A and B are shown apart, each in its own frame.
Chain A
Amino acid sequence: MPLELRDDEASLVGSCTADEALEFSDWLANSAQPKVDLAACTHLHAALLQTLLAYKPAITARPADPFLARWISPLL
C-alpha cells in the first residue's frame, strides 16, 4: 500500500501512482495540520506532486530517492 494515512500524518511509500491522488487530496483537505513522510517514496506521480504543491503540508521526512531529493524536495 503506497499510501499510509493516519490521523495527521501520511506516508508515501514506494512508487506512488495517480490512483492515490484522490484519496490523498481528500485526506489533505480534511486534516487540520497534515504532515507527510516521503522518506520511503521512490516515485511520485505528477498528480500527487501537484496535490502536495496545492496543500503545502509539512514534510516530516525528505525522500531518499536521488531524483526526488534533487528536483522535487526543494519545492515542498
Chain B
Amino acid sequence: MSALLDQFIEEASDLLEAAGAALLVLERNPSDERAINDLFRSVHTLKGTSALFEFPELTKLVHAGEDLLDCVREGSVPVSGELVDLQLEVLDVLRGWVDYVRAQGGLPNDAASSSRELIARLGAMKITGRPTELPASPQAGVAPEVIGDWIETVSERERMTAFRAALDDGLTVAAIVYKPDTDCYFRGEDPLLTWRGVPDLLALLIGTVGPEPALIDFDPYVCRLQFHALSTAPKAELEHLFRYVSDQVRIAEIPPERLAVPVGVDGTDPQSAAFADECAAWVGAGRLPELRERALTLLASIDSTRRSASALRWLIAVIESAGDHADWLRELVGAVGGNTPAAFEEADVAVVPGSELVDRVVEEQRRILALPADDTVVLAGRIASVGKSLANIAAAQQAFAAARILEGATAAALQSNDARPLLDALHACFDIVSRLAGGAAAEDVPVSRAQPISADGHDLRQTRMLKVDQAKVDRLMSLIGELVVAKNALPFLARRAEAVYGSREMSREIGQRYSVIDRLAQEMQEAIMEVRLLPVSEVFARFPRLIRDISRKLDKQIELVLEGEETQADKNIIELLGDPLIHIVRNAADHGIESPQARIAKGKPAHGTIRLRAMQEGDLVVIEVSDDGRGVDTKRVLAKAVERGLINPEDAERMTAAEAANLIFHPGLSTADVVSDLSGRGVGMDVVQTSIRDAGGSVSVSSQLDVGTKVRLALPLSMAVVRVMTIETAGALYGVPIDMIAETVRIDSSAIREIKQAEAFLLRDTIVPLVRLRKLLRLPSRYEEREAVLVLRTAAGLVGMIVDRFDEHMDIILKPLEGILVGLKGFSGTALLGDGRVLMVLDVRELL
C-alpha cells in the first residue's frame, strides 16, 4: 500500500470522526455556525482527498452528503433527527469502507450498491426538506445564476448574433455557467480544453472568482477562473460535452428577449426623447418600416455609446428579424427615451464584494475624485477615467448592478461637471470605509510566500501534526528501554574496575560518566512517554454518539456532560479504557437513567444526566462516570447475591451499603433483570473490573437509591515502567511489582505456626497466611533459621511469601511473555537487567 494511501486512511478516519462530532453538536444547536463549518470542512476535505484515489463510490457518496449539508447551511433543509440519523449512517458506512480499504486496499464489492442507495436517500431528503421551492414559473428549476446579470456583459455584437440565430434560424441559445472547483487542476481537469470542444460558441466570458489575492499569495494551482458562455449548440449536446464536470456546470436555454438588453451610458437627449414620444404608437399601428427608417436616422446622429443608441440597434434588429414581437419593440422604444426596461430593472443596490486590492484601488480613485480641480476639462477627464475604472472593478467582481449604477453616476457627473454624483455612487457601491478601518491592522501581518494554503483556503501549517505509526514509537520506546538497561551495566563495570583491576580512580570516573548517561536516559524516557500520552478525549469522543443512539432507542432523554477531556495518559491506558467505559456508560444509560415519565414522577427533571469526568490524581488517572438515575438497589443486590450463594446471609447482614454496591462487580451478578439490546450481553461489571485490575488499576462504585450512581476507575498514568522489588530464590532473580508489597519482614522459623498443612505467622496481632515461593514454583524446598517474608496485598487480604533473599528496588521496562512462553502461568513478563540477566516478574494474583 502506498504511503499516500496510508495517509489518506489516517486522515479520512480523523475527518469522519470530526464530522460525526460536529453533526451531534449541530443536532443540539442547529444554528451553531462553527459546528456546521467544521462539518463542512471535514466533509469537503474528505471529498477532495478521496478523489486522489480510485474510490468513485466513496467520493460520490461524500459528495452527495456534502450536497445535503449545503442545503442545511443555506437553511433550505432543516436539521432534523432523521437528517442526523441519515448523515450518521453515511458516516458509519464511510468509516466501514475506510477500514476495509485499510485491510484490503480497496472498497468492498457492495460499495457501489450501498453508495447508490444512500445517495438516493440523501437526494430524497434534500427534496423533501424543501417542498415549498418547487417550480412556479417555466424558468424555475434553472439556477438563477445561469440566466443572470452576466448576460448583459456579453458584448452587444455577440448577443445580437445569438439573437439573430435564435429568431431567424430557429436555434436555441444556451447559457453555460462553468465554475470549476478550486482543486480541479489536481484532478487533471483543464477547463480551457473543455471550452475548446464546445461547438457554436458565440461568447465566452472568462473571469476570476472572489477577491484578488495579493500576487505574493498567488497559487497557480488553485483554480479561480469562472466561465460564462453562449452557444447555439443543442443543450443535450452541451450536457454530454460537460458530463465529466456536470457538478460544476449549469446549462440553460435563454429566451431570446433576454439577450436584447440595451446597455451603454445612461442619460438622454432631446432627439431620443422625442423619438420615444412620437413612435410609441407606431408599433401598435404596424408602421414598422417607418420606425426602422426613423431609428436608423436617429442612430446616425447620436453618441453610439449611449444606452439609447444601443436600444435603437436592438430595435432595428428586432424589426429585421422574423416574427412579431410587438411587446419587445414597445419596451425598446421606451428604452430609447431613457426608460429602463421593466423586465431588467435591478431592484437592489449591489455592493461590490471587496478585497484588499479592490479596497486599495477604490480608495485611490476616491482620492483622485476628491482632489480640487480648477479646470473643468481636467475634472471631466478625471470623472470619466475614475468612472470607467470603478465600473470595470464592479464588473470584474460580478456586481453588474453596481457597475450600471456607477456608469449612470459617471454620466450624471459629467453632465453637471461635478464629481459628487460619482462619489456618492462610489460610497454606495463599495463598502470601503468600514473595511479600510479594519484592514489597516491586518496589513501589519507579514505574509510569506511559502505559506501552504489548502484548497479551501485554510492555513495548513498551524494544524500540521506529524503522524507516526505507533509501531515506530513503540520501537523507539523499546530502544530507550534497552538503553536504560545497558546503562545499568555501568555500575557493575565500576565495581569490577575496583574489585578486579584495583583501580579506584577508574571506578569513580565510570561512576561520573554513568550519572550523565543516566540523566540523559531518564530525560529520553520522559520524552518518549510524553509522545505516547493521549488525552482522554480520544475515548470520550465516542460517547456523544453512543448516548444519542441509546436515548433515541430507549426513548429516554439523556444529557452527557464531559469534563477534564484534556487529562492525559499513556496510549495503552487510554485504549484499554475504551471498552470498560462503554460498558459502564451503557449501564448508566440503560439501567441508571429512568424514563422521562418515571423521572417526573420522582420529582426529577425529565432529562437525566450522565457525567464523565477525568482527572489526574498523583500518578493515577481517574475517570468517574456518574448518573442521576435510580441508583443501585443494594437490598436487591444483596438478596440476589445470597440467592445465588455468592455470599452467606450473615455476611449480607453485616455489609455496608458501599460494600453491597460493589457486589455488582461480582461475576454472575447483573443489576437488571431484563437483558436489553444495549447492555447485559453477558459482559458483566466483573469484566470491567478484571480488565482495569489487569492494567494495575482499581474500580469502585458508590450509589444512593434514586439519587444516582458513581463508578470510579483509577489507573496508572503509564504502564510502561514498572517499579519492582527484586528477590532471589533458588539462585534466580524474580521481580514483584512494588505496589503489591505491603512490607518486608524477617521472621524466626519458630514464629511460623502450622495450621494443618498451611503455615501462618503473626504480624502485629494479625494472622497472616504464609506461602513459600519455592513451593509455588515447584523448586526444591529449603528451610532456614530466619526466613525473609514479603507481605503482599491481595484481594483476600495480606499474604506472606517466603523468599530466599531480598534484593534492590528497580525500575524496569516490562516486556510481556512472547512465543511459547505466553501460556506460562504466574508471570506477567520479563525484563533485562544491566548485567545481562533476565528478571522474571511474578504475577502474584495468578500465582496464589
Contacts and interface: CB of A to CB of B under 8 A. Distances in A.
B204 A53 contact: no
Contacts of A21: 185, 220-221
Q: Is the interface of B mostly helix, strand, loop or mixed?
A: mixed
Contacts of B190: 17-18, 45-46
B35 interface: no
B532 interface: no
B196 A50 contact: no
A45 B224 CA distance: 13
A22 B221 contact: yes
B460 interface: no
Contacts of B192: 43-46, 49, 72
A47 B223 contact: yes
Nearest to B216: A29
Contacts of A49: 192, 206, 225
Contact of A43 (B193, B204, B215, B225): B193
Q: For A18, A25, A55, which residue has the most chain B Cβ atoms within 10 angstroms?
A: A18
Contacts of B215: 29, 54-55
Contacts of B783: none
Contacts of B193: 43, 45-46
B218 interface: yes
A55 to B, nearest CB: 7
A22 B248 CA distance: 25
A24 B220 contact: yes
A45 B204 CA distance: 16
Given A46-B180, A46-B185, A47-B185, A18 B191 contact: no
B195 interface: yes
Given A46-B180, A46-B225, A75 B218 contact: no
Contacts of B196: 43, 67
Contacts of B218: 25, 29, 51, 54-55
Contacts of A75: 206
B37 interface: no
Nearest to B191: A46
Contacts of A24: 220
Interface centre among A21, A22, A50 (most CB of B within 10 A): A50
A7 to B, nearest CB: 20
A32 B224 CA distance: 25
A48 interface: yes
B195 A48 contact: no
A50 B210 CA distance: 13
A18 B223 CA distance: 11
Interface string B191-228: 11101100001001010100010010010110111000
B204 A71 contact: yes
A48 B220 CA distance: 7
Nearest to B449: A29
A25 B219 CA distance: 8
B206 A71 contact: yes
B206 A47 contact: no
Contacts of A25: 218, 220
A71 B192 CA distance: 10
Contacts of A18: 185, 190, 221
A49 to B, nearest CB: 6
Interface in A45-66: 45-51, 53-55
Nearest to A22: B220
Interface in B162-191: 180, 185, 190-191
Contacts of A43: 192-193, 196
A43 B185 CA distance: 16
Given A45-B190, A46-B180, A46-B192, A51 B220 contact: yes
B213 to A, nearest CB: 8
A47 B204 contact: no
Contacts of A22: 220-221
A72 B193 CA distance: 12
B195 A71 contact: yes
B143 to A, nearest CB: 22
A47 B201 CA distance: 21
A67 B192 CA distance: 10
A22 B449 CA distance: 13
A22 B180 CA distance: 19
Interface string A7-50: 00000000001100110110001000000000000011111111
B661 to A, nearest CB: 68
A18 B191 CA distance: 11
A36 B185 CA distance: 23
A71 to B, nearest CB: 5
A46 to B, nearest CB: 5
Looking at A17, A29, A47, A55, the one whose CB has the most chain B CB atoms below 10 A away is A47
Contacts of A53: 206, 208
Contacts of A29: 215, 218
A29 B218 CA distance: 10
A32 to B, nearest CB: 13
Contact of A46 (B201, B212, B223): B223
Given A18-B190, A29-B215, A71-B204, A50 B223 contact: yes
B208 to A, nearest CB: 6
A24 B218 CA distance: 12
B242 to A, nearest CB: 14
Contacts of B195: 67, 71
Contacts of A44: 192
A47 B192 CA distance: 9
Contacts of B201: 71
A54 B207 CA distance: 11
A47 B208 contact: no
B764 to A, nearest CB: 81
A47 B180 contact: no
Contacts of B225: 46, 49-50
B555 to A, nearest CB: 55
Contacts of B221: 18, 21-22, 47
A17 B221 CA distance: 12
Nearest to B201: A71
Nearest to A44: B192
Interface in B663-720: none
A30 B813 CA distance: 57
A72 B205 CA distance: 9
A56 to B, nearest CB: 10
Interface in B755-774: none
A11 B797 CA distance: 89
B220 A50 contact: yes
Highest count of chain B CB atoms <10 Å: which of A24, A43, A46, A75? A46
B202 to A, nearest CB: 11
A50 B180 CA distance: 13
B209 to A, nearest CB: 10
A55 B212 CA distance: 11
Nearest to A66: B196
B488 to A, nearest CB: 55
A44 B201 CA distance: 18
A50 B215 CA distance: 12
A42 B206 CA distance: 19
Given A46-B185, A50-B224, 19 more contacts: A22-B221, A24-B220, A25-B220, A29-B218, A43-B192, A43-B196, A45-B185, A45-B193, A46-B180, A46-B190, A47-B185, A47-B221, A49-B225, A50-B220, A50-B225, A51-B220, A71-B201, A71-B206, A72-B192
21 contacts: A21-B221, A22-B220, A24-B220, A29-B215, A43-B193, A45-B193, A46-B191, A48-B220, A49-B192, A49-B206, A49-B225, A50-B223, A50-B225, A54-B215, A54-B218, A55-B215, A67-B195, A71-B201, A72-B192, A72-B206, A75-B206
A-B pairs with the 7 shortest C-beta distances? A21-B220, A25-B220, A46-B191, A46-B192, A71-B204, A51-B220, A47-B220
Interface of A: 17-18, 21-22, 24-25, 29, 43-51, 53-55, 67, 71-72, 75
Interface of B: 180, 185, 190-193, 195-196, 201, 204, 206, 208, 212, 215, 218, 220-221, 223-225
